[in-house]
Structure 1
Amino acid sequence: MALRMKVTYLDGREEVVTILPPIFMAAEKHFKRDGGLSERNKVASTYYMTWQALQKFGREENDFDAFLELIEEIEDAEDEAEDPTGPAPQPDESSS
């Protein structure tokens, strides 16, 4: 099971990251004393897993608390496709 999450930073930057099984397991261990991943800690665990994934892929250097101070929101990105090449060029309408 993998999830895709979109992080919007306060400066407007956006990152889409995939949360892979090792990140889920790390979060289970992190939240073990609170009963593991559950509805009770859904928000905290989502933020934690997203931060862990960004760190794993070298896209976030801050510790967890500093990361929280930099973000506006985290949301499900399942419907958003990552396009590594960017948008396709549009035809030049002025030449017709």
Structure 2
Amino acid sequence: ENGVTLCAIERAWRDGRTEFRKPVSCHLYPIRLVRFSNGTVGLNYHRWDVCAPARACGRKLGVPVYKALREPIVRRFGEEFYTALEAAESYLKNNN
């Protein structure tokens, strides 16, 4: 659709053909979660060649990965966390 390949499970869910939504770990990809021994969670970007066209498109449009993955990030961590990501990006841009 519009040159974008969609996950069949996600497409079926969006079309209302199933109540099952793909797991959040898949929804977040290429972000992978890492649990540390102190209980905190880290977010790591997994660079994979199959994602190269998406990276190129994001660069061209000026869309960072976290903005492209807003929905799954909010789904997993909540709106407050996403707002903090936006604030962090703004802070880094203004204090670089």
Instruction: Flag whether TM exceeds 0.5 (same fold).
Output: no
Flag the structure with higher strand content: 1
Whichever of the two has the greater Rg, that structure is: 1
Relative contact order, CA 8 A, sep 6+: which one is greater? 1
Flag the structure with higher helix content: 2
What TM-score do you get using the length of structure 1 for normalisation? Answer: 0.28
